[in-house]
Amino acid sequence: GRAGLSRGRPREEEDEEEEEEEVMMEAEGGFPLYPGHIPTSPLQKALLAAGSALAALRDPYRHDMVAVLGETTGCLALPSLRDKMKHHPEGYRILQERPRIRLSTLDMERLRGLPDGTLGREYVRFLEDNKVSPDTRMPAKFVDDEELAYVIQRYREVHDLMHTLLGMPTNMLGEIVVKWFEAVQTGLPMCILGAAFGPVRLNTRKLQVLATELVPWAIRSGRNASCILNIYYEQRWEQSVESLREEIGILPPP
C-alpha cells in the first residue's frame, strides 16, 4: 500500500494534464469545435480544396463543392472579415447575436406584404422568381474556429441578398457578376476562382457584355461598398433597395 501511494500522482496534476491534452487536440483538429464540425489536418484540407475546386469547375452549380472550397481555402480571408465585423457597431452586434437567414426565421407572409421596392419584398420576389430557398445553404463543417464558421455561414446566407441588391438573376451570367463583386469584397479564394473561371461557359455575346459593362461595374461597386457583412439585413426589410444600395456604396446597376 505504501508503495502504491508513492507511485500515485496527485489528482490535480492529472486534471491539468487532461486539460492540456484537450487543448492540444482541439488545436490539432482532434474533435469537433461546434455541431457539425469535421476536424481535418492541413493535408486533408489541401486535398479537399483540390477535389472541390475540380468538381466546382466542372459543375458550378455543385453548391456542396463550392461550400467545401470556400471553407478549406478561406484561412486568411475569414479572419480579416471577422475583424472588419468586430470593428463595426452593426457587424459586432451580428457577431454577438448570430442571426440566421432561414425559412424558420423569416416571416415570408409579412415580407410579401411589404411595398414594392423594399428589401424584404424584393428579396422574396428574387427567391420566388428564381425558385431558390435560403435553406439550401450548407452549414459550415471544415472551419476550425467556431466564430469563423459563423462568418462564412453568414456570408452564404446573405448571398441571395447580394443578388437582390445587385439586381442579378441566378443564371451563369448573374452568378459570375455577383462573384466578381464578392471577390473584391471578401477576398475569399472561392469567389476569385468563380469570377476568373466562370466566364469560360459563356457565349461570345455574353462575354462582351460581361467584359465591357458588368465586370467593371461589379469591381467598382465592390471597391466602393462598405463590408457587406456589416449590415443587419433582418432589421432592414422595410428599407428601400435603392437607399440601402446608396448606404452601402453599391453603384446603380448598368
In this prediction, residue 211 carries a pLDDT of 95
Q: What count of other Cβ atoms lies within 10 Å of the Cβ of residue 25?
A: 12
In this prediction, residue 17 carries a pLDDT of 52
In this prediction, residue 32 carries a pLDDT of 85
In this prediction, residue 58 carries a pLDDT of 84
Angle (CA) 45-47-52 rounded to 5° is 95
In this prediction, residue 16 carries a pLDDT of 52
Angle (CA) 161-197-216 rounded to 5° is 60
Cell numbers standing for residue 244: 440601402
In this prediction, residue 20 carries a pLDDT of 47
Report the alpha-carbon distance of residue 112 to residue 122 in Å, rounded: 9
Residues 87-96 pLDDT 10s: 999 999 999 9
The residue extents of the domains of the chain are 35-248
In this prediction, residue 12 carries a pLDDT of 53
Give the chain's length: 254
Report the alpha-carbon distance of residue 108 to residue 124 in Å, rounded: 7
Q: Which of 204, 215, 203 is nearest to 177 (CA)?
A: 215
In this prediction, residue 61 carries a pLDDT of 76
Write out residues in the chain with pLDDT < 70, as ranges.
Answer: 1-30
